[in-house]
């Protein structure tokens, strides 16, 4: 019961971070011609919200249960940054007058050509068909396993899942950078690439330390 209370409290904290990001996103979204509902910008905003929200869920789960100070700090940082960014992307869609629900299958935007007309591939040869699972997204079974794990097993599983999750997030951010010249989108996506690549390196070291 105590574990469930901690996890529920952590998830509530993640929701508050999301709401804070929504307010910030509305304040920083520029005025001007809005992207269309089938644009790369809108598709990225919708899909990356889903991707980030799962990262918040995993991070707050391990934050509430781990005894490792380094992992508590890291998971809090991930939840804070990605919760706020998810809120910003929600606010973009609102500002652009676009629905939060996609009019087409997820990942459709990644199947479209880059701005320079080239079909850039950041996935090591992988392709993404519309409607397929987003890069790095954990399954419900993996999330359930994380939420029931304890001790070093939970720490290890979190790091394994989050490293894969971050790699997928970087791939999505690089994809929208190939497809968008919208300043606010490029700024956030560039920040995602920089932050998550650094966190991947750090998490790989933490995982190696666990043995």
Q: What is the mean pLDDT of residues 75-82?
A: 97
CATH number at residue 65: 1.20.1260.10
Residues in the chain: 211
User: Helix 151-179 vs helix 69-95: angle between axes, to the nearest 10 degrees?
Assistant: 30
Q: Is the pTM of this model over 0.85?
A: no
Q: How many structural domains comprise the chain?
A: 1
pLDDT tens readout for residues 1-59: 555 555 555 555 555 555 555 555 454 555 568 999 999 999 999 999 999 999 999 99
Whole domain around residue 13: which residue ranges?
A: 2-210
Residue 205's Cβ-side half-sphere holds a number of Cα atoms within 13 Å equal to 8
């Amino acid at each position: 019961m105590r574990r469930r209370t901690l996890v529920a409290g952590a998830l509530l904290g993640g929701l508050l971070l999301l709401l804070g990001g929504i307010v910030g996103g509305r304040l920083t979204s520029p005025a001007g011609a809005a992207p269309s509902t089938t644009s790369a910008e809108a598709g990225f905003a919708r899909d990356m919200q889903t991707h980030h929200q799962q990262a918040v869920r995993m991070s707050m789960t391990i934050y509430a249960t781990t005894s490792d100070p380094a992992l508590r700090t890291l998971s809090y940082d991930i939840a804070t940054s990605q919760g706020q960014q998810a809120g910003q992307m929600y606010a973009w869609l609102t500002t652009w007058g676009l629905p939060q629900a996609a009019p087409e299958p997820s990942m459709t935007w990644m199947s479209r050509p880059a701005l320079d007309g080239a079909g850039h591939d950041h996935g090591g040869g992988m392709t993404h068909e519309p409607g397929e699972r987003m890069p790095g997204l954990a399954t419900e079974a993996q999330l359930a396993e994380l939420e029931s794990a304890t001790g070093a097993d939970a720490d290890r599983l979190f790091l394994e899942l989050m490293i894969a999750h971050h790699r997928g997030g970087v791939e999505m951010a690089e994809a929208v950078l190939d497809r968008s010249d919208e300043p606010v989108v490029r700024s956030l996506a560039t920040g995602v690439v920089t932050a998550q690549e650094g966190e991947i390196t750090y998490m790989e070291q933490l995982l190696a330390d666990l043995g």
